[in-house]
Chain A
């Protein structure tokens, strides 16, 4: 069954510290993985996806097929990174998107 897990419901880090938001998935194939972010009082928006292999707002995420993980990383956290982060998975192009439960990131000044 397709599933996305995010083991941390809450994560607090100090400003300037590295941050890693964990995401694991189960899927019998080659899915496309995404990170979505929701800032306070804003709508859910795409942060990045693994096929783009890009860095957005200093965040990167590497797909590890062996460990079925897609952890989100940033070397130096900023206060404006405080938000809710959702990892999501999509199988084939015509598949539905499966979201994880989310991790609330709080960056302490």
Chain B
């Protein structure tokens, strides 16, 4: 089992552009959460997907949206990129919504110029 995999590893975009990040959960996991980790800070919860629906959402604007596919993989989309969106984006999967153990991917480093 490869664990949680994220792609791409690094990404450079310019202000105003749109970006899509991808995540494949650990085998057998059906719940995916996304986090933004700015430099020197802890991960900040963006949203959680379960059964292809957004179930929980953190304090992020509507520019941040996501999707979960039938195979439980997930995408994070960010529109109208701002310089402040530059961060490490982490994906975490869980066996189910009530299980509180999360397994993290290595992250996607997004730089907005």
Contact = CB atoms under 8 A, between A and B. Distances in A.
B25 interface: no
Interface in B71-113: 90, 92, 97-98, 100-107
Given A34-B100, A90-B100, A97-B33, A43 B106 contact: yes
A93 B43 contact: no
18 contacts: A34-B100, A44-B90, A44-B104, A45-B104, A86-B42, A90-B100, A93-B98, A94-B55, A94-B56, A94-B97, A94-B98, A95-B56, A96-B56, A96-B58, A99-B42, A99-B45, A101-B42, A102-B42
Contact of B107 (A43, A99, A100, A101): A43
A42 to B, nearest CB: 8
Interface string A26-51: 00000010100000000111100100
Judged by DSSP, the binding face of B is loop
Contacts of A93: 97-98, 100
Interface extent on A, as a size class?
A: 20 to 34
Contacts of A86: 42-43
B7 interface: no
Contacts of A102: 41-42
Contacts, number: 52
Contacts of B107: 43
B44 interface: yes
A98 interface: yes
